[in-house]
Amino acid sequence: MPSSAEVDHIFQCPANTLWNLIGDFGDMKSWGSSNLTSCVQEGTGIGSIRTITIHDSGKDIVIVDRLDAETERSYTYSIVSSPLPYQSYQATMAVKELDGTQSQLTWSSTFEPKGITEIEAIEYTKQMYQRGMKLMEQALIRQGLLHQ
């Protein structure tokens, strides 16, 4: 049975503002870390592939994802190849409107751990999502789009 992880975060901005930042599957550079050296998408829509390159500790880490599903404010993707500790991994990022000034991002996934325990994999995944959400907040602040 696959393991799962989920992190929710409330952003002080409308859902459309948050989705405009993160909703483009092939554009993680708009909110990713400074270590993210490239994010290239091949194809469009369901089945498209993005290749993410992150420079860390003097080497490049390459992650290849496939877009599996897309709705108005969510998308689901699978890792095709990566050095991350998963045998299989599928995640969904979904933005929900809470009111005119707040939105919620839910980042969830199912996976099979590779080389680490289930508990370690769940914690690793949640920390990865929390770091990503902090980067999203910082990007919104830089763009003057986050209500303080």
Query: pLDDT tens digit string along 3-55?
Result: 999 999 999 999 999 999 999 999 999 999 989 999 999 999 999 999 999 99
Residue 131 in this model has a pLDDT that exceeds 90: yes
Taking the whole predicted model, whether its pTM rises above 0.85 is answered as yes
What average pLDDT is seen over the chain?
95
Q: Contacts from 109-114 at CB under 8 Å and sequence distance 24+?
A: 109/4, 109/5, 109/6, 110/2, 110/3, 110/4, 111/2, 111/3, 111/4, 111/5, 111/86, 111/87, 112/2, 112/3, 112/86, 112/87, 112/88, 113/3, 113/85, 113/86, 113/87, 114/85, 114/86, 114/87
Which residue ranges form the domains of the chain, and what is each CATH number? 3-142 (3.30.530.20)
Query: pLDDT tens digit string along 93-105?
Result: 999 999 989 999 9
Distance CA 51, CA 48 (A): 10
Helices (H) and strands (E) in the chain, counts: 2, 7
